[in-house]
Amino acid sequence: MTQNAKETFRQCDTGPALAARVRTLSPTMPRSMQRVAEAVAADPAACAQLTVTALAQRTGTSEATVVRTARVLGYPGYRDLRLALAAFAAQQQSGAPASVTADIAVDDPLADVVAKLAHDERQTLADTAAGLDVSQLEAVVGALTAARRIDVYGIGASALVGQDLVQKLLRIGLIAHAHSDPHLAVTNAVQLRQGDVALAITHSGNTVDVIEPLRAAFDRGATTVAITGRPDGAVARYADLVLTTAVRRESELRPAAMSSRTSQLLVVDCLFVGVAQRTYERAAPALSASYEALAHRHSPEAPTAR
């Protein structure tokens, strides 16, 4: 039979993307949809066995809500979500032992803490990578590359991420500044104009201290970018471009700052590499130059692979 042997592959990449989407989208959903999403994320294998009605009942919602959730997660309907769930469960079966997915307890031995934290950060990275909108990323890279001047706003843990970005950009010859003082940030923001880039980093998407300077830059006509876990947050109102980071459940011993930082740093790295690629002629010598310069600050030990 001559069937259309061409790639009938659909975009429905069943893999980790599913869990990622659940975690990324979950916070922006209404309550009952969240319940469904949680149930699905908690036990995909079990949910794959359930009909709409059964899942609705189990989550204490209605069929309509289940279908709506499936839609938000990117499937045409529940039927397809179910298939993806089955696929996901199969893929996951050889995966992590349940113990590392549990929350960190006060009396966990340190070895477990290490395993759980590592697992969690790995998951965060996978989620972020899966959830990143590459076209937005592309646009941000373009804006950064062309910018006359780049201002970065971040507070608390996000301030460090901002500094990381700035360090990297400086290293390849861009003009970038990190601001964590809200007043100075605004003061500087009003100096920006079209062609400049203002970039705000906030996990919650609602941090006033970084939204204010971003707004100021926005009003001045600069290209504004937000790196946030909440693309529906207030920060997005003044952001021309939004890069979404994964959001994971937090707990007392695992503050949100921890996973958001991991997530944000991945985005920052992507930006850096993207810009470095596009300005390679200029960046490559700059990179080696800074490498050379640093060698002097190291003792003359020869570095070798261990």
Partner DNA sequence: TCACGCTTTGAAAGATATTTTCATCGCACG
Partner DNA sequence: CGTGCGATGAAAATATCTTTCAAAGCGTGA
Phi, then psi, of 109 in degrees rounded to 5? -65, 155
* Identity of the amino acid at 247: V
Per DSSP, the three-state class of 306 is coil
Q: What length does the chain have?
A: 306
Site string for DNA, 10-49 (x = CB under 7 A): --------------------xxxx----------------
Residue 32 interacts with, from DNA, its own copies, none (CB under 5-8 Å by kind): DNA
What is the smallest separation between the CB atom of 247 and DNA, expressed in angstroms? Answer: 17
What is the smallest separation between the CB atom of 101 and DNA, expressed in angstroms? Answer: 26
Per DSSP, the three-state class of 165 is helix
User: Which residue of 54, 102, 284, 289 would you call a contact of its own copies, by CB under 8 A?
Assistant: 284
User: Which residue of 26, 65, 180, 245 would you call a contact of DNA, by CB under 7 A?
Assistant: 65
- Determine, following the binding rule CB under 8 A, whether residue 240 of this chain makes contact with its own copies: no
Contact 116, 108 (CB under 8 A): yes
User: Which residue of 129, 145, 220, 282 would you call a contact of its own copies, by CB under 8 A?
Assistant: 129
Residue 65 interacts with, from its own copies, DNA, none (CB under 5-8 Å by kind): DNA
User: Which residue of 17, 70, 172, 235 would you call a contact of DNA, by CB under 7 A?
Assistant: 70
Q: Please, which residue, 194 or 279, has the CB nearer to its own copies? A: 279
**How far is it, in rounded angstroms, from Cα 185 to Cα 81?**
45
- Determine, following the binding rule CB under 8 A, whether residue 279 of this chain makes contact with its own copies: no
Whole-angstrom CA distances from 11 to 14, 74, 125, 259 are: 9, 10, 21, 28
Contact partners, residue 53, CB within 8 Å, separation at least 6: 63
